[in-house]
Amino acid sequence: MTRLLVPAFTALCLLMMLAACETTTSGGAVGGDRKQLMLVSSQQVEQMGAEAYAKLLADSSRKGVLNRDSAMLQRVRAVASRIEPQTGVFRPDAPGWKWEVNLLSSDELNAFCMPGGKIMFYTGLINHLNLTDNEIAIVMGHEISHALREHSREQVSQSMAAQGVIGLGAALLGLGQGSADLAGTGYQALIATRFSRTDEAEADRIGLELTARAGYDPRAGVTLWKKMIAANSGGHPPEFLSSHPAEASRVQQIEALLPTVMPLYQAALGRR
Ligand SMILES: [Zn+2]
């Protein structure tokens, strides 16, 4: 790049970053409309997510660990189908996403929802913590909220901004590479993600509202996190917990929100 072009390029980058601050969601009752830096499109991240998810499904199916427990699969799909229509409160496009829910037989205490609504639950989480449907709904609402808020897209954008926009963007999205590479990159960027404390707190808040609106008891948020804390004290912090720090402050945030979300739960019960 010539010397003359450098300031122009820098200005262009700044302009892109200014133009790129947006919010993915409306606030709902709990507030979920913080402005975010977005340098990559939803479509690009969703494509990356869809490829990574398809690869995980194919690999798991080959290993014979996909959707083996049909009763449990039915439970998680039933919970998801009640929460999905409620996502419209936060973003009108979300109920129309190509939602997918699958179950992986694994001892891992894990669950995730990729951008665009691709959900995976791990049997270990439900079995080891003996989760009720209400508690499954809390986990589901939390994971779906990461997708609604596009936290992965924000994280990819922040790395791009930190490392000089365009080159890394192309690398992250695997442009010019084969689809196997794209899926691999997508897995790293989207599934193995460590979200920030801000992201986790947002997902807890929005998730709690989704859960309540779907007619699941939001008080299960308290019992769920207590089970998580107990599981964590065994000395082997599971994957799910290392990315979801189970602090007492988290339980406190949920308890503080109960007066806001309990009426939504009562109203949902009245409609059922
Ligand atoms: Zn989370």
- Residue pLDDT, tens place only, 156-165: 777 666 655 4
> 146 C-alpha to center of ligand 1: Å?
7
Give the residue with greater pLDDT, 40 vs 255: 255
Find tokens 């003359």 and name the residue.
Answer: 4
Tell me what pLDDT residue 192 has.
58
Whole-prediction pTM: 0.80
Tell me what pLDDT residue 1 has.
45
> 153 C-alpha to center of ligand 1: Å?
14
> 247 C-alpha to center of ligand 1: Å?
13
The whole-angstrom separation of Cα 268 and Cα 272 is: 6
The whole-angstrom separation of Cα 52 and Cα 191 is: 8
Tell me what pLDDT residue 2 has.
45
Give phi and psi for 133, each to the nearest 5: -60, -40
> 33 C-alpha to center of ligand 1: Å?
17
Tell me what pLDDT residue 100 has.
97
**Is residue 228 very low, low, confident or very high in pLDDT (cuts 50, 70, 90)?**
confident
> 113 C-alpha to center of ligand 1: Å?
10
> 142 C-alpha to center of ligand 1: Å?
6
Comparing C-alpha atoms, which of 152, 122, 153, 127 is closest to residue 140?
122
- Mean pLDDT of the chain, nearest integer: 81
> 3 C-alpha to center of ligand 1: Å?
44
Highest-pLDDT range among 78-82, 114-118, 179-183: 78-82
> 8 C-alpha to center of ligand 1: Å?
39
Does position 122 have pLDDT exceeding 80, yes or no? yes
Give the residue with greater pLDDT, 4 vs 258: 258
> 177 C-alpha to center of ligand 1: Å?
30
> 137 C-alpha to center of ligand 1: Å?
14
The whole-angstrom separation of Cα 251 and Cα 258 is: 11
List b or e across 128-163, with b for residues whose CB sees 16 or more CB atoms inside 10 angstroms.
bbebbebbbbbbbbbbbbbbbbbbbbbbbbeebbee
Residues in contact with 227: Cβ distance below 8 Å, sequence separation at least 6, in sequence order: 129, 130, 131, 135
> 178 C-alpha to center of ligand 1: Å?
30
Give the residue with greater pLDDT, 109 vs 220: 220
